[in-house]
Amino acid sequence: ETSVTLYGRVDGGIGYQQFKGTNPTTGESFKGSNTGMANGIMGGNRWGLKGAEDLGEGLQAVFVLENGFNLSDGTQSDGMFGRQATVGLKSSSWGQLDFGRQTTVASKYLSGVASPFGADWGQASVGSAFSAINSVRYNNMIMYQTPKFSGFQLGLNYSFTGNAGSQGFKTSGGDEPNDKAWGAAVRYANGPLAVGLSYDEYKTSEVRVDGIGGDRDTAIKSWNLAGSYDFDVVEVHAAIGQTRNGWFKHVSAIDYRDIGGTDDMTGRQSWGAINDAKVNSYTLGLSAPVGANGKILASWVMADPKDGFGADRQDKQHFYSLGYTYKLSKRTNVYALGSYGTGVHFYDDLKATQFAVGLRHQF
Amino acid sequence: ETSVTLYGRVDGGIGYQQFKGTNPTTGESFKGSNTGMANGIMGGNRWGLKGAEDLGEGLQAVFVLENGFNLSDGTQSDGMFGRQATVGLKSSSWGQLDFGRQTTVASKYLSGVASPFGADWGQASVGSAFSAINSVRYNNMIMYQTPKFSGFQLGLNYSFTGNAGSQGFKTSGGDEPNDKAWGAAVRYANGPLAVGLSYDEYKTSEVRVDGIGGDRDTAIKSWNLAGSYDFDVVEVHAAIGQTRNGWFKHVSAIDYRDIGGTDDMTGRQSWGAINDAKVNSYTLGLSAPVGANGKILASWVMADPKDGFGADRQDKQHFYSLGYTYKLSKRTNVYALGSYGTGVHFYDDLKATQFAVGLRHQF
Amino acid sequence: ETSVTLYGRVDGGIGYQQFKGTNPTTGESFKGSNTGMANGIMGGNRWGLKGAEDLGEGLQAVFVLENGFNLSDGTQSDGMFGRQATVGLKSSSWGQLDFGRQTTVASKYLSGVASPFGADWGQASVGSAFSAINSVRYNNMIMYQTPKFSGFQLGLNYSFTGNAGSQGFKTSGGDEPNDKAWGAAVRYANGPLAVGLSYDEYKTSEVRVDGIGGDRDTAIKSWNLAGSYDFDVVEVHAAIGQTRNGWFKHVSAIDYRDIGGTDDMTGRQSWGAINDAKVNSYTLGLSAPVGANGKILASWVMADPKDGFGADRQDKQHFYSLGYTYKLSKRTNVYALGSYGTGVHFYDDLKATQFAVGLRHQF
C-alpha cells in the first residue's frame, strides 16, 4: 500500500481571442485581439498529492492537496493548494466527511452533466452562464457526501468564510465579519442517464466583503438543474438555473480590463453581490464519438438578465461553442476549440471569439 | 535505494476560540468569538521531500525540503520550503552538519520534552510561555549536531541573518545590517528519562530590524531546561526557562488584531526585541495512555513578566490545557483540545479559550 | 512504466563576497563585504516533476514542471514552476515541440560549451559577460528542436510576451502591448568536439516594458558562438559574442543596491533595453580531471562596452575564476570557488570578489 499518489495535468497550446463592442460611456467602438499561448483550455493545469488509507470496517482516511498553475509562465494560480486542500474520512456505510478548501458539491455534481465542456474549455465553459456550478471553491469548508444509494448521492457543504481565507472574530453586539456559504446538491446516475440538482447560498459579511465584491449582508442564491442522456451515437446535455442577488463566480471569458484599462471596462468584470439582480441560465449541448479516439463537443449557453443590471446591460448573453478531442493514448490527447459569444456580460453588442488548439497530458 | 521520499501531514477539524478582556486605554470591556475550521492543531500542515544517500564509511548526504500550508484555504504559510530547506552530511562518527533554513536545536531538543503538547496544539503549546523553544526557525543557518553518545547529544546552530532572508553587505566603518542568531542545546535520553538544556541569543541588526520587531542592536537571550519521565501509566513533563531583552517567537495564541482593529490591540501582538524585558517561564504536564489507542494530555504553562512591560502588563499569564488523541491507525488519529488562559500577553484580565476537534493523517 | 519522476537538486554552503570601488557621483570610495550561507552556487536549487509517455511509432508526450527555490530561506525564486513549465511532443523522426516557460535554445545549447562553469557558479558564470546565453527564460513560449542528425541539432523558440507573464490585447490601430522574443541556435557534437551558434532578439513592447527595463519598442539583439574540445587531460572552452541595444539578462554578480541604497548604485544593476548600446563578449576556460573524482575549472570572461553607456562606464569588465569539485558519489559532490572581477558593470574601478565552498546533492 502506497501512502501517497503524485498526479497532475499539463495542458498547453496556441490560442486566439478577440472581442469587439461599443464603450457604453463614450459610444466609441473598440476591438482587441490576442494570439498567444493557450493555457489549461481543457482544464486548469495542476499537480497534486492524494491518498487513501484503509482503517478497517470500510472506513478510509482520505486527503487531497492540489496546486493549480499557469503553464504559460509557471506561476501558481491560487495559493499553494488553491485547487484543493482537504482531509477526511470516507465510509462505505455512512459516506464521506471532508475538512478544507475544495469545489462545492454543486460544481462537482452538475457541471459535467450540464455541458459536454463542463466548467472548462475557456469561454465554452458552462460557467459562462451558470455561476454556482462554475468550479466554485470555498475556504474553511466542511463537506458531507452520502454513499451512492441506487444511483443517488447527496452532498452538503458549509463554509465559515466563503472565498475569504481567514476567519474574523465576531464581537458581542458587533457585526458578523465573515462571509458564509452553504450548498446542497443531489445527483442520480443510472446507465445512460445522469441528473443533478443543486441549491447554493452565499451570504456576504455585515462589515466587509472578502473575495467577492458588491453589497454587504447580501444572500446570493442560485438553484440549478442539469441532465444528460447518452444515446451512444450522441450524448445530450441540458441545464437550467437561476442566480439572484449577485453572481457566484466570474464568467471565465475574456478579461476586458485589457481593452485599454478604462475604468468602465474594468467594471464589466466586477460581478459579486448585487441586490435584486436576477439571471436565468440555460444550456444545451451534445457530444459524439468520431471513430475510436475522436470526440466532437458542441454547446449553447445563455444567460438572461432579468433585473439588477444597468440600462446598458439588458442583453441576453449567448455563447456558441464547438470542440474536438483526439486521444493519442489513455493519458494524452490533442484538442481544438472554437467559440463565439454575443451580449457578453449583458452589454448589447459586446462580442467575444475564442479559438485554441492544444495538447493535454495527464500523469 | 530510492533517492527521495515524499511525505506530509494533513490536519483539520472544527474549532472555537473566544477571548475577553478590558481595553487598557479606553477601559471598555470586549469579547470576541469564532467558530470555524481548525487547521493544523496537532502540528502544522506540511508536505515535503527528503532523502539520505549512503556515501560509504558511515557517511550520508541528507536533505529535507518541507512546505507548510493552511488546510483551511490552501495557501502556504511561510515560503515554498518555509518549514525546512537544508542539505547536509551525516556521519556515524562525527555527527551531522546542515546548511539552510530549519528549526533551532533548542526547539528540536526541548519542546517535546517540556510538554506533552510540544510546540503544537494551538494555545496549549509550550510556546505560549517559552519563546526560544517555540519552533523557532532561522534562515541562512549552519547547524551541527554530534552523534548520540551514551544517550547524550549536543547541537549548535548559527544563523547569518536570523529571521531575515537576505544578507546585507557590511560596509567598512558602517553598521552591521544583519540580524545574527546562535544557539546551543544538549539532550539526554535514557529509557524513561529525557532531559534537555538550551541557550539562545538573537542579536538584532544595528541599522534595521528584520523579521523581529523592536529595538535595534539588542541581544535577546533565553535559557531553558526541560525534563520528562515516563512512569508507564503516566509520563510527566516539566520545564523552566527565562527570556531577556525581548521574545524569540510570538505567543501562538489568539491574534488580537481581530478584536476590532484598534491600534492598541494590535500592539499586544508585537513582541520582539525589548531592552531590559525579563520573563520567567514554567510548565508542568503529563500524558497517560487510555486503552490501546487513546492518550490523555494535560499541561499548565505560565509566563511571569519581571520587567520591561508597561504598567498595564504586569499579570502572570497562565494556560491550562487538556487534550485527547485516539489512533485510528498508525498514520491516522482523531483528537480533541480544550484550553483556557488568563493574563494573556500579561494583560490583567485578558482571557482566552480554545476548543477543537480534528482529524490528522500522515503520509 | 511510471508516469512521473520526482527529481531535484539541493546546493548550499558558506560564501564570502566583497566589492569595492568609487561612487562615480560623489567620488567617495566604498567597500562592502558579506560572509554567509552560499545558496545554489553550482546551480539553482530546484525540485521538479517530469515524465515521458510512449505514444507509439517513436512519438512521446513529454512534460517538465520545475520549481526553483532558495535553500538559505526556503522561499521560491521565481513562481511555482518558474524554472520550467512545459508540455510537448517528441518524435524520433521530426523532433520536439514544447509549449510553456523554459530556457531559450541559445542558453541550452551554448552556455555549457562556452565555459566549464556554464551559466552557474556565481560570478564565474559565463553570464557575467554573455547575456543571451545566461539561462534566459521566457513565458508563453513555443520551442521546436530537430532530432540530432550526425551530431547536429537546430532549435528555435518564439515567445509571445518575453519576460512578461500575461498577454495584453492589441486593439485595432493601437500599440503592441506585448514584448516579443525569438531565438535560434544550432549545436554540433562529435566525440571531443562541441560547437554552438545562436542568435536572439528581444522586442520590447510599444506601450510599456514588462520584466525588462529601458527603452520601449527596441529590438535587443545578440549572437554568440561557442566551442569546446576535450583533450582528455584538459577540456578547453572558448566563446565570442555580441549584444546590441541592451542586455538580455542581468549580470548575476553582486547586487550593488546593498552598497548603501544610494540611487546611483541602484542604477548600476538596471540593464535592459538601451538604444545603440553595444557590448562584445569573450571567454576562455578549461577544466581538467584531478584523480578519479576531482575536477579543476578555470575561466576568464570579459565584456567590452563599445557604445551606449555613460562617460563613467567605459571600462572592460573582466572576471577571473577558479573552481574545484570532488565527487562523493554519483549524486553528491563538494566544491569550492574563487573569483575576482574588475571593471564590474563597466565602472572603472569597481572590483568584485567571491569565495564559496559547498555541498551539492541531486535526487
For C247-256, the pLDDT digits (tens) are 886 543 334 4
Q: Which fold has domain C86-362?
A: Porin (2.40.160)
- Considering CB atoms only, which of B56, B59, B165 is closest to C72? B165
Question: What stretch of H or E contains B107?
Answer: helix B105-114
Instruction: Kindly report, residue by residue over C139-151, the tens digit of the pLDDT.
Output: 999 999 999 999 9
Rounded to the nearest angstrom, the minimum Cα separation between B1 and chain C is 11
- State the average pLDDT for chain C: 89
The mean-pLDDT minimum among A103-112, A337-346, C27-36 falls in C27-36
> How confident is the prediction along chain B (363 residues), in pLDDT tens digits per residue?
568 999 999 999 999 998 888 877 777 888 888 899 999 999 999 999 999 999 999 999 999 999 999 999 999 988 999 999 999 999 999 999 999 999 999 999 999 999 999 999 999 999 989 989 999 999 999 999 999 999 999 999 999 999 888 888 888 888 888 999 999 999 999 999 999 999 999 998 887 654 556 678 889 999 999 999 999 999 999 999 999 988 886 543 334 433 433 333 333 344 577 788 899 999 999 999 999 999 999 999 999 999 877 777 788 999 999 999 999 999 999 999 999 999 888 888 889 999 999 999 999
Split at pLDDT 50, 70, 90, the class of C212 is: low
CA pair distance A209, C238, nearest whole angstrom: 61
Give the per-residue pLDDT at C108: 98
Q: Which residue has the cell 484555504?
A: B73
CA pair distance A333, B15, nearest whole angstrom: 45
Give the per-residue pLDDT at A216: 81
Give the per-residue pLDDT at B347: 81
- Measured at the CA of C39, the angle between CA C34 and CA C41, to 5 degrees, comes to 100
Is the pLDDT confidence value at C217 over 50? yes
Which among B285, B313, B305, B304 has a CA at the least distance from the CA of B229? B285
Give yes or no for a contact between B144 and B154, defined as CB atoms under 8 angstroms apart.
Answer: no
CA pair distance A238, A110, nearest whole angstrom: 10
For residues A340 and A78, the model is more confident at A340
Which residues on chain B are in Cβ contact (under 8 Å) with A178? 36
Question: Phi and psi dihedrals of C19, rounded to 5?
Answer: -135, 155
For residues C207 and C293, the model is more confident at C293
For residues A317-333, give the mean pLDDT: 97
Which of A59, A86, A87 should we substitute to test contact with B (largest number of B Cβ atoms within 10 Å)? A87
Which residues on chain A are in Cβ contact (under 8 Å) with B32? 169-172, 174
Q: Is B208 an interface residue toward C (CB < 8 Å)?
A: no
CA pair distance A300, A322, nearest whole angstrom: 9
Rounded to the nearest angstrom, the minimum Cα separation between B64 and chain A is 18
Give the per-residue pLDDT at C259: 40
Put simply, the answer to whether A76 touches C79 (Cβ < 8 Å) is yes
Dmax (CA) for chain B in angstroms is 68
Q: Is A289 an interface residue toward C (CB < 8 Å)?
A: no
Is the pLDDT confidence value at A261 over 80? no
Q: What percent of chain C has pLDDT over 90?
A: 69
CA atoms within 13 A on the CB side of B138: 34
Q: Is B72 an interface residue toward A (CB < 8 Å)?
A: yes
CA pair distance A321, C114, nearest whole angstrom: 51
CA pair distance A303, A341, nearest whole angstrom: 11
Give the per-residue pLDDT at C224: 98
The mean-pLDDT minimum among A111-125, B62-76, B171-185, C17-31 falls in C17-31
Rounded to the nearest angstrom, the minimum Cα separation between A207 and chain B is 11
Split at pLDDT 50, 70, 90, the class of C268 is: very low
Put simply, the answer to whether B37 touches A140 (Cβ < 8 Å) is yes
> CB A150: neighbour CB atoms within 10 A?
6
Give yes or no for a contact between C337 and C19, defined as CB atoms under 8 angstroms apart.
Answer: no
Supply the CATH classification number for the domain A5-362: 2.40.160.10
Split at pLDDT 50, 70, 90, the class of C31 is: confident
- Considering CB atoms only, which of C14, C34, C75 is closest to B169? C34
Q: Which residue has the cell 480554545?
A: B354
How are beta strands A152-159 and B29-39 bridged, if at all?
Answer: unpaired
Rounded to the nearest angstrom, the minimum Cα separation between A11 and chain C is 7
CA pair distance C111, C108, nearest whole angstrom: 7
Q: Is B75 an interface residue toward A (CB < 8 Å)?
A: yes
For residues C187-207, give the mean pLDDT: 94
Is the pLDDT confidence value at A282 over 70? yes
Q: Is B175 an interface residue toward C (CB < 8 Å)?
A: no
Question: What stretch of H or E contains B269?
Answer: helix B263-269
CA pair distance A316, A314, nearest whole angstrom: 7
Give the per-residue pLDDT at A117: 98
The mean-pLDDT minimum among A213-227, A259-273, B55-69 falls in A259-273
The mean-pLDDT minimum among A265-269, B63-67, B197-201, C354-358 falls in A265-269
Is the pLDDT confidence value at A268 over 60? no
Is the pLDDT confidence value at A341 over 90? yes
The mean-pLDDT minimum among A39-53, B131-145, C17-31 falls in C17-31
Is the pLDDT confidence value at C172 over 90? no
Which residues on chain C are in Cβ contact (under 8 Å) with B142? 14, 37
Could you tell me which chains touch chain A, where touching means 3 or more CB pairs under 8 A? B, C
Rounded to the nearest angstrom, the minimum Cα separation between B37 and chain A is 5
Q: Taking the domains of chain B in order of start, what are their residue ranges?
A: 95-347
Question: Phi and psi dihedrals of A234, rounded to 5?
Answer: -155, 145
Which residues on chain C are in Cβ contact (under 8 Å) with A332? 53, 55, 61
Give the per-residue pLDDT at A274: 78
Give the per-residue pLDDT at B213: 61
Give the per-residue pLDDT at A264: 36
DSSP class of A127: G
> CB A173: neighbour CB atoms within 10 A?
7
- Considering CB atoms only, which of B6, B139, B177 is closest to C73? B139
Question: Phi and psi dihedrals of A133, rounded to 5?
Answer: -115, 15
Dmax (CA) for chain C in angstroms is 68
Put simply, the answer to whether B79 touches C72 (Cβ < 8 Å) is no
CA pair distance B222, B118, nearest whole angstrom: 18
- Considering CB atoms only, which of C36, C259, C332 is closest to B160? C36
CA pair distance A276, A215, nearest whole angstrom: 11
- State the average pLDDT for chain A: 89
Q: CA-nearest residue of chain B to C38?
A: B140
3-state SS of chain C? CCCCEEEEEEEEEEEEEEEEEECCCCCCEEEEEEEEEEECCCCCCEEEEEEEEEEECCEEEEEEEEEEECCCCCCECCCCCCCEEEEEEEECCCEEEEEEEEECHHHHHHHHHHCCCCCCCHHHCHHHCCCCCCCCEECCEEEEECCCECCEEEEEEEECCCCCCCCCCEECCCCCCCCEEEEEEEEEEECCEEEEEEEEEEECCCCCCCCCEECCCCEEEEEEEEEEEECCCCEEEEEEEEEEEECCCCCCCCCHHHHCCCHHHHHHHCCEEEEEEEEEEEEEEEEEEECCCEEEEEEEEEEEEEECCCCCCCCCEEEEEEEEEEECCCCEEEEEEEEEEECHHHCCCCEEEEEEEEEEEEC
Put simply, the answer to whether A10 touches C87 (Cβ < 8 Å) is yes
Give yes or no for a contact between B181 and B204, defined as CB atoms under 8 angstroms apart.
Answer: no
Give the per-residue pLDDT at A361: 98
CA quadruple A205, A209, A212, A213: dihedral sign: positive
Rounded to the nearest angstrom, the minimum Cα separation between A166 and chain B is 8
Q: What percent of chain A has pLDDT over 90?
A: 69
DSSP class of A258: G
The mean-pLDDT minimum among A159-173, B277-291, C107-121, C215-229 falls in A159-173
Question: What stretch of H or E contains A114?
Answer: helix A105-114
CATH number 3.40.50.1100 given to B95-347? no
Put simply, the answer to whether A359 touches C59 (Cβ < 8 Å) is no
Which of A54, A140, A144 should we substitute to test contact with B (largest number of B Cβ atoms within 10 Å)? A140
* C-alpha cell belonging to residue A280: 436565468
Give the per-residue pLDDT at B353: 93
Which residues on chain A are in Cβ contact (under 8 Å) with B33? 169-170
CA pair distance A81, B46, nearest whole angstrom: 11
Is the pLDDT confidence value at C296 over 70? yes
